[in-house]
Amino acid sequence: MAANTISILKPSVNNLTVRIFVRAAGLDFEEVDVWGKKGTPEFLSKDPADLTPLLEEAGLPKGSLWESCAIMAYLCDKHDLDGFYPRDLGRRAMINSAMFYLIGTLYPLVARATYPTLAFPQYPGEVGSSQAGDELKARAQQDAMAALAQPLEAYQRFFLDGQQFIGGDAPSIADIRLAATLEFLRAIDYPLPAWVDEYMGAIEATLGDAYAEPAADVRGYVASVKAPAS
């Protein structure tokens, strides 16, 4: 049995984040594809949120941990992966801010903007998951697309600010989280700023197959939803 067991859904960028990370960090891991297998009493006993990615690892007090950024931070601390998650408090605070801002602000907008196109169920409480009509749902999607500009600019102007990566010269766990997330914007007709293409290209060039191999699952899914129905 591997040191790290990760339950995943392959078309998901939340899952892609951890899938890239464990490869880039060279950790011992196995992946369990739980497509169609969540929601069981066994899965919920480990993960009452019923969300993936889910890490199972011997050092965890309850044996399991969800939330992609928490999983990466824990594994960095456990394996002294300071290059991905610096020990310096100021630099670490910037990585944390970039990740919390992503989970709290950018990702909900990405989900509202892309999940209808990706045919993913939207989170409870969203207009898209309600009984609202198609017009209101389409408006919510358009509003989310329009609102993406501000957080994207914040990443460029504040977190990157002329550096190649949020982590500086090398990708941090916040960079892995951001690049993976931006993969979904290719599903919709969103005018990606030029820096996004350069940034994602630099991450993929630096991480190589650790990025490209799991990203192929997300890209394949995105291509399938964009392909004209035959």
With a CB cutoff of 8 Å and minimum separation 6, the contacts of 50 are 38, 39, 43, 44
To the nearest 10 degrees (0 to 180), the angle between helices 173-182 and 89-101 is 20
The CA distance from 62 to 191, in Å, is 43
**Cα–Cα–Cα angle for 38, 77, 51, rounded to 5 degrees:** 15
Give me the residues that bind ligand GSH (CB under 6 A), please.
9, 12, 14, 38, 51-53, 67-68, 103
Question: Which residues on adjacent β-strands are paired with residue 54?
Answer: 7, 66
- Minimum distance of ligand GSH from residue 107's CB (angstroms): 7
Given a contact cutoff of 8 angstroms between Cβ atoms, the answer to whether 34 and 9 are in contact is yes
Minimal distance, residue 203 CB to ligand GSH, in Å = 18
Q: How far is the CB of 224 from ligand GSH (least distance, A)?
A: 16
CB of 135 to ligand GSH, least distance (A): 26
111 versus 203: smaller Cβ distance to ligand GSH: 111
H-only helix segments in 38-133: 41-46, 68-78, 89-101, 107-118
Beta carbons of 109 and 115 less than 8 angstroms apart = no
Q: Give the pairing of strands 54-57 and 29-33.
A: unpaired
Nearer to ligand GSH, 53 or 171 (CB): 53
User: Least distance from C-beta 38 to ligand GSH, angstroms?
Assistant: 5
Nearer to ligand GSH, 8 or 25 (CB): 8
In terms of CB distance, is 105 or 164 closer to ligand GSH? 105
Cβ proximity to ligand GSH: between 120 and 195 the closer is 120
Identity of the residue, 114 or 230, whose beta carbon is nearer to ligand GSH in the bound complex: 114
CA distance 114 to 46: 29
